[in-house]
Amino acid sequence: MSTTEWYWCLTHQQAEPADERDDPENALGPYASPDEARDWKRLNEERALRWKLEDEAWEGEPSDD
């Protein structure tokens, strides 16, 4: 099993291993695999929805979004 961290490079629009990144300022991650890095948008949207639902439950009312 590899312990390499993967990043989604916004400059090159591809998954890159941590030790091969040439533009770390424009990367998202780390991710556990290249597939997770490629799927960054879906993962981000799921995380944002989960946080929104948790906030609504904490506040006791739904948001207007």
Q: What percent of the chain has pLDDT over 70?
A: 86
Q: Which residue has the tokens 């695999």?
A: 33
CB 29 within 8 A of CB 6: yes
pTM of the predicted model as reported, rounded to 2 decimal places: 0.68
Q: Given this model, what pLDDT does residue 36 score? A: 95
Q: Given this model, what pLDDT does residue 58 score? A: 87
pLDDT confidence bin for 20, thresholds 50/70/90? very high
Structure tokens at 60: 């006791």
Q: Given this model, what pLDDT does residue 33 score? A: 96
How high does pLDDT run on average in the chain?
89
